[in-house]
Amino acid sequence: MTRSRMPSVLAALALVACAAPARQGAGSADALRDRARIPARGPPPALAVPAQKHFRLENGLRVRLVEYHRLPIVALNLVLDAGAAHDPADQPGLASFTAAMVTEGTKTRSATRLSDELGFIGAHLSAGASFDAASVAGATLSRHLEKLLELMADVTASPAFPQEDFARVQDQRKVALVQQRDSPGAVASKAFTEVFWSGHPYGHWGMGSEASLQAMKPADLARFHAAHWRPGSAELVVVGDVSEAELRRMLAKDFAAWPAGVDPAAARAGPLAAARRTIVLSKADAPQAFLMMGMPGLTRASPDFAAAQVAFQVLGGGSASRLFRNLREKHGYTYGVYAREEARKLGGTSYLVGSVRAEVTGDAIRELLSEVESLRKDPVPEGELADARDALVLSLPADFATAAGIAGKLADAAVHGLPDDYWDRYVAQVRQVTAADVQRVARQYLDPSRLLTVMVADPAVVKAQLGGLPLGPVEVRSDPAAGPGGRVGSAR
């Protein structure tokens, strides 16, 4: 800016400043009026499920590729039929411990070297196990994909389970189990799992117990890995900036060397004898009661899955749900109580979960069961039904907005044997769910006659409140934190 123009510019700014208050006042009034109006709903986001290519390596490994060239990145998700449903009866937690250890050193790389090599290319790699599957997942820039595949193949096929790293991870997991004793949610979940799924492959805590964890040796993990981490029972999902020809070349170099071996037998569902009963896990002076109320639910591959999700959204899916409006907004019993389904490969559970003020536990349960009965008995009004459908459908495109999100969704489909067009059909199915559909699935999967209630609470406060409620026989158990080996539900 030249010196001669400075005064004229300052004068212009002064004129603007003097005029600003009048215009600002008018604009503020308009803005306030605008804020009083609910913004018009824009067009719904479109769900774009990308095309999937499938091929199989000679060792039996299935590969699912989505070419996603928006960014120069690639996400990987390898899923294996090596989940906690395969845990031996006397070694609960073995599948989870094995998965946690595969990234802790291989026959050619120490844990430190593996970490350094991943850091050098700016990649990440992690492993874990649910009941239905073990998984190894990672992501990197596409120019480093070949290196990441090399590292993933190494941890998948050749973990060494070194003693020093084994002891470190074992200690970490024991500490985690001890810490869970102070979490009402974890305490209730453990007891619920053991009682509800008794005799079933899901009938134990996925991390195991302190006693089972302490007894495990590296050789146990090596045997489980050799038996269950096989290419014939695995699928590799690849999403990102890579062509099929490039990927085939890279996999032939790394994953093709993974020996086929003998595929493990699939886990089989055991009996599910769910009878109405209540277990109170004693926690003296607890100001709240943590409730976990469950009934037999549906499998993930069930044709009722979409309708059931709408039903759970209406009942307890969020701040607009019936449980939230009744127990929190109307009565002030809770900060939040939710209804959800846990749909797995071999079975499922319909849950009502949350904490309520201890002194109103009986009233809160009464309202919970009343809302369940209303959903079973009365058709859902169309406006409420439309809101529930929208909540499910409009949030779904965000799950497919990134390479990692797509890989996660398709890995879930691989585990549960869902077809390629599942998510396209899912949106249409949700949109077509009627009030009659909600009523039908509520009657089938929200059956109070098969209700197991587990609560962490002070029996002196809550037990008298349970009289007259349809909860079956009530059993009081001692403080789970005092149980031997961290085992929940052991009375003294």
Instruction: Please report the pLDDT score of residue 384 as a whole number.
Output: 97
**Residue 131 to residues 96, 99, 426, 427: CA-CA distances in angstroms?**
9, 12, 24, 27
Structure tokens at 52: 């999937």
Write down the pLDDT at residue 14. 42
318 pLDDT tier (thresholds 50, 70, 90):
confident
* DSSP per-residue string spanning 69-80: -SSSEEEEEEEE
Mean pLDDT of 309-332: 96
Pick from 67-76, 298-307, 344-353, 471-480: least confident: 471-480
Q: What is the pairing mode between strands 336-343 and 73-80? A: unpaired
Other CB atoms within a 10 A radius of the CB of residue 482 amount to: 11
Q: Please check the confidence at residue 9 and state whether its pLDDT lies above 90.
A: no
Q: Which of 257-261, 305-309, 487-491 has the lowest mean pLDDT?
A: 487-491
Is the model's pLDDT at 17 over the cut of 70?
no
47 or 488, higher pLDDT: 47
CATH class of 53-257: alpha beta
pLDDT of 246 higher than 80? yes
Domain(s) of CATH 3.30.830.10: residues in the chain: 53-257, 277-482
Asked if residue 32 has pLDDT above 70, the reply is: no
Q: Percentage of residues in the chain with pLDDT exceeding 70?
A: 89
Q: 204-225 pLDDT, tens per residue?
A: 999 999 999 999 999 999 999 9
Per-residue pLDDT band at 39 (split at 50, 70, 90): confident
Q: Provide the 10 A C-beta neighbour count for residue 22.
A: 9
List Cβ neighbours of 126 (8 Å cut-off, separation of 6 or more). Answer: 103, 136, 137, 138
Instruction: Write down the H helix ranges in 158-243.
Output: 163-180, 184-196, 210-215, 218-228
Residue type, 444: Q
pLDDT at 328: 96
Q: In whole angstroms, what is the distance from residue 195 CA to residue 215 CA?
A: 24
DSSP 8-state code for residue 62: E
CATH number attached to the domain at 277-482? 3.30.830.10
The pLDDT tens digits for 162-183 are 999 999 999 999 999 999 999 9
- Residue 98 is predicted with a pLDDT of 98
Classified as helix, coil or strand, 354 is strand
Strand intervals (E) in 206-263: 234-240
Indicate the pLDDT class of residue 408, thresholds 50, 70 and 90: very high
* % of the chain residues with pLDDT over 90: 82
pTM of the model: 0.87
Calculate the average pLDDT of the chain: 90
pLDDT of residue 40: 78
Q: 3-state class of 220 per DSSP?
A: helix
Place 399 in a pLDDT band, splitting at 50, 70 and 90.
Answer: very high
Top mean pLDDT of 16-30, 63-77, 273-287 is at: 63-77
- How far the first Cα of the chain sits from its last, in Å, is 86
pLDDT tens digits, 88-131: 999 999 999 999 999 999 999 999 999 999 999 999 999 999 99
Provide the b/e sequence for 420-435 (b: ≥16 CB within 10 Å).
Answer: eebbeebbebbeebeb
Picking from 314, 334, 281, the residue whose alpha carbon sits closest to that of residue 453 is 281
Mean pLDDT, residues 74-94: 97
pLDDT at 28: 52
Sorted by sequence, the CB contacts under 8 Å of residue 43 that are 6+ apart come out as: none
SS3 42: coil
313 neighbors 321 (Cβ within 8 angstroms):
yes
Q: What is the Cα–Cα distance from 235 to 80, expressed in whole angstroms? A: 7
Q: Which of 35-39, 60-64, 392-396 has the lowest mean pLDDT?
A: 35-39
